[in-house]
Amino acid sequence: MYKIFTYFLFFLSFWAISQKNSVEVQYGDKDFIFLDTAYVNLLRDIHAELIIKNQDCIFLETCKDTKTKNLGEVLFQKRANLLYKATYKKQPIYPRKAQERGVEGYVILAFDIEIDGSTSNHYVIEGKCIKEHVYPYEDCTIFNSAALKAARTNRYDINTTSRIIDIPHKYSFELTGYYDSEKIYTNISNRSLRRAKNFQSNQEWANLKKLAESVDDNYIKFFWLGVASENLNDLNFALQNYIKSLSLQGDPRVMGEVRNRTLSLLYKMNKFEAYAYICDKTYAFYDNYMCGMNMLQIGDSIGGVPYLLKAYRKNLGDNDSNQRIAEIIESQRNWIKEDLIKLQSSS
């Protein structure tokens, strides 16, 4: 009876957000591999409770809460573009100024879908850019007009008697052939990059630290200081520099290594809780695995299990590692049951 009441509140929350929308969270029919039906349903119950508390997460595209979004992703929550499929969709024209300046980015916007399938009331939720592949993304408006112009031509075949409002949509703008996969995008000289590579290969950590101290502040400098200090067993100073490097952002390949080293060090030092924001975005097996393990170390099963599920799915070729991950996920089942009871009692 209590669960029935909880689901009533869940759908009531949907109504409060979407007013006339008939919006329900839907999940894709995909293989959960090793999770049994009871565990999947347990995670869906958790997801329902989290959406009550984070109502923007009805759509993954607009979800700001990392825990709710991660759980939705591993449960194969359908994105808005799958819930509402366009029968006609025009790709935006790449702005000439952006092309000339080497600017890439994305726009997330929203609009209403009318009964006849046309769209109306378009507005931008977020616009982000990078220039010449140098991160981080920054707020920008250069792609807004092109994205809005394209969205206004979208047509949908929907079976409804009322307007569907505030449907999110994402447009990405990427320059083909612009990115050199061999180049590290930084303002540090090639000579310094070669020296640093040699120092790391030869494990000359004091020399690497000295080189890092000689260059201007940027993400590469703090990364080198972190690597050198970690290998010189100055773990606190290493962590400080890894965090500085992450805060500045930079070339994705370098940042991936910085993130992995940081997460490993945080686990080793048991200092993750203050830096949990590092896991707001994950990309590969290792960072998902370490985010999951760090979350479990601080007692957050709901936060940790989705990362471990992502790690498992990105590592299907390694049976031994995945067997261990599956055992860890299974060990959290009873803790998640207790977390569900707590969430329901606080709703």
- % of the chain exceeding 70 in pLDDT: 89
Q: Is residue 125 part of a domain?
A: yes
User: pLDDT at residue 5 above 70?
Assistant: no
Instruction: Flag the least confident range among 70-74, 184-188, 194-198.
Output: 184-188
Tokens 């590692």 found at: 321
Whose tokens are 């030869």? That residue is 202
* Chain centre to alpha carbon of residue 80: 17
Q: Report the CATH number that the domain containing residue 161 is assigned in CATH.
A: 3.30.2420.10
> Does the residue 74 lie in any domain?
yes
Q: Which domain holds residue 152?
A: 86-173
The two structure tokens encoding residue 45: 């119950």
Which residue, of 83, 104, 133, is where some domain finishes?
Answer: 83
Average pLDDT over residues 2-22: 44
For residue 73, tell me if it sits in a domain: yes
Q: How confident is the model at residue 71 (pLDDT cuts 50, 70, 90)?
A: very high
Nearest Cα to 151, choosing from 89, 93, 105, 84? 89
Q: How many domains does the chain have?
A: 3
Q: Does 75 lie in the same domain as 194?
A: no
Q: What is the pLDDT of residues 192-249, one digit of tens each?
A: 889 999 999 999 999 999 999 998 888 999 999 999 999 999 999 999 999 999 998 7
* End position of a domain, from candidates 51, 83, 115: 83
Q: Is residue 180 included in any domain, yes or no?
A: no
CA dist., res. 36 & res. 93, Å (int):
46
Is 242 in contact with 261 (CB distance < 8 Å)?
yes
For the segment 101-117, what is each residue's pLDDT rounded down to a tens digit? Answer: 999 999 999 999 999 99
Report pLDDT for 184: 58
pLDDT at position 303, please?
Answer: 97
- Give the pLDDT confidence of 306-347 residue by residue, as tens digits: 999 999 999 988 889 999 999 999 999 999 999 999 999 986
Q: Is the domain of 246 the same as that of 288? A: yes
Q: Are residues 67 and 93 in the same domain?
A: no
pTM of the complete model: 0.81
- The CATH number linked to 254 is 1.25.40.10
253 and 318 together in one domain: yes
Same structural domain, 79 and 90: no
Q: Specify the DSSP class assigned to residue 273.
A: G
Q: What angle do CA 229, 234, 236 make, to 5 degrees?
A: 105
pLDDT at 14 over 70: no
Instruction: Please report whether residue 152 resides in a domain.
Output: yes
237-282 per-position pLDDT tens digit = 999 999 999 998 788 888 899 999 999 999 999 999 999 999 998 9
Residue 182 has pLDDT above 90, yes or no: no
Please check whether residues 214 and 313 belong to one and the same domain: yes
In the predicted structure, residue 179 carries a pLDDT above the cut 60: no
Are 138 and 254 within one domain? Answer: no
